[in-house]
């Protein structure tokens, strides 16, 4: 069996692996679709050491085998990959901080016990049954393959909720930013400004409910106009570049909030004087919890989170490298590309 793995800067290889077998507490899933994530793109661009277990971590499929100790799943179940519930045994859980469970953290970065040597760019994968979440029957396969990144955005907005009527800014109209936009509206924001250099993505943001979608060069003037010079109440940074962290703080008002969602691979230059003068409240949101995942599926099912328009292309395993290179170019017309390993 072959799986596509990012093995260096600008390099994706099809590597051969044995057919997976379930551990006693695990299952094997036949993968139907797997999304290409911004993390994959960053790893491809940078060539930095990259855990192969998260090379393709947004997948959905059908259970084809279960371990001897598994009672929660059976063959034929439709599932999506997420994180397990809090373990209840680690130091964080025992201290009452289950939302920061160490086992969940290790799983979210692909370092859990028995992690796969490859990710979801493959026909099959073995994983812990605790990570497999049954897909709601009303979700189609394209939606199911996007629950994982949608849960990242849901978690961020749940973590830094807008107040009713707030002016919110979302930096970046990639898949995470476009779901963050929708979650902020569902959470009560009165006006959401999306900042995005790509005209196609700006148009999609407007279709999905953005009050305004603007090029970065025009963002400062628009936010000042909308807020009478104050700045936004809350800014969600979804770009994941070093320079956009300070930009996010700059677009917030005094006493406002900034939520860091996008992951920059390099140190970000900041101006602490601005942070201090603004008394800015900065938070960060990493991944999601098992509960976030379930709630995200519910919001997709009832239509508050719309994912189908984000899907702009599907490729087979042989074309994973070309698809990631296209997304890394900065000129791609795609938003969310899914990989179908059966092609």
Same domain, 120 and 28: yes
- Flag whether 302 is in a domain: no
Q: What are phi and psi of 141, to 5 degrees?
A: -65, -35
pTM, full prediction: 0.94
Same domain, 135 and 41: yes
- Flag whether 298 is in a domain: no
Rounded to 5°, the CA angle 130-133-136 comes to 160
Write out pLDDT tens, residues 112-165. Answer: 888 899 999 999 999 999 999 999 999 999 999 999 999 999 999 999 999 999
Does the pLDDT of residue 265 top 80, yes or no? Answer: no
- Flag whether 190 is in a domain: yes
Domain count, the chain: 2
- Flag whether 296 is in a domain: no
Same domain, 320 and 199: no
Same domain, 30 and 79: yes
Write out pLDDT tens, residues 167-178. Answer: 999 999 999 999
Q: Which two tokens stand for residue 215?
A: 């090029």
Same domain, 240 and 200: yes
Same domain, 168 and 48: no
CB 138 within 8 A of CB 301: yes
Rounded to 5°, the CA angle 44-289-143 comes to 65
| Residue 223: CATH number of its domain | 3.40.50.720
CB 39 within 8 A of CB 263: yes
| Residue 30: CATH number of its domain | 3.90.180.10
Q: d(Cα 194, Cα 181) in Å, to the nearest integer? A: 8
Mean pLDDT of 29-38: 97
Range of the domain at 157: 151-284
Taking CB atoms within 8 Å and a gap of at least 24, the contacts of 264-267 are 264/240, 265/42, 265/46, 265/48, 266/242, 267/242
Residues in the chain: 343
Mean pLDDT of 203-208: 97
Same domain, 40 and 109: yes
């Amino acid at each position: 069996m072959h799986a596509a793995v990012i093995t260096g800067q600008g390099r994706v290889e099809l590597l051969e692996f044995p057919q997976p077998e379930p551990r006693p507490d695990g299952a094997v899933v036949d993968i139907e679709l797997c999304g290409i994530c911004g993390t994959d793109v960053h790893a491809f661009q940078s060539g930095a050491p990259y855990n192969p277990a998260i090379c393709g971590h947004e997948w959905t499929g059908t259970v084809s085998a279960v371990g001897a100790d598994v009672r929660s799943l059976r063959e034929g179940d439709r599932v999506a990959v997420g994180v397990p519930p809090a373990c209840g045994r680690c130091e964080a859980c025992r201290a009452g901080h289950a939302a920061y469970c160490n086992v969940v953290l290790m799983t979210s970065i692909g370092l859990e016990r028995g992690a796969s040597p490859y990710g979801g760019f493959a026909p099959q994968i073995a994983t812990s049954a605790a990570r497999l979440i049954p897909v709601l029957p009303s979700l189609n396969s394209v939606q199911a393959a996007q629950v994982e990144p949608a849960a990242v955005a849901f978690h961020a907005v749940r973590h830094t909720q807008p107040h009713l009527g707030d002016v919110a800014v979302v930096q970046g109209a990639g898949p995470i930013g476009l779901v963050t936009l929708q979650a902020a509206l569902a959470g009560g924001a009165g006006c959401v400004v999306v900042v995005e250099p790509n005209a196609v993505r700006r148009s999609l943001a407007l279709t999905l409910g953005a009050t305004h979608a603007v090029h970065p060069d025009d963002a400062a003037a628009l936010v000042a106009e909308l807020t009478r010079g104050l700045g936004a109440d809350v800014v969600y940074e979804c770009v994941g570049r070093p320079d956009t962290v300070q930009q996010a703080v700059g677009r917030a008002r005094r006493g406002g909030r900034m939520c860091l969602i996008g992951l920059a691979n390099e140190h970000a230059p900041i101006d602490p004087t601005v942070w201090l003068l603004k008394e800015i409240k900065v938070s960060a949101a990493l991944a999601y919890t098992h509960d976030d995942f379930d709630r995200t599926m519910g919001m997709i099912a009832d239509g508050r989170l719309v994912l189908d328009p984000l899907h702009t292309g599907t490729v087979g395993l042989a074309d994973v490298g070309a698809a990631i290179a296209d997304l890394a170019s900065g000129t791609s017309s795609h938003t969310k590309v899914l990989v179908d390993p059966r092609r």
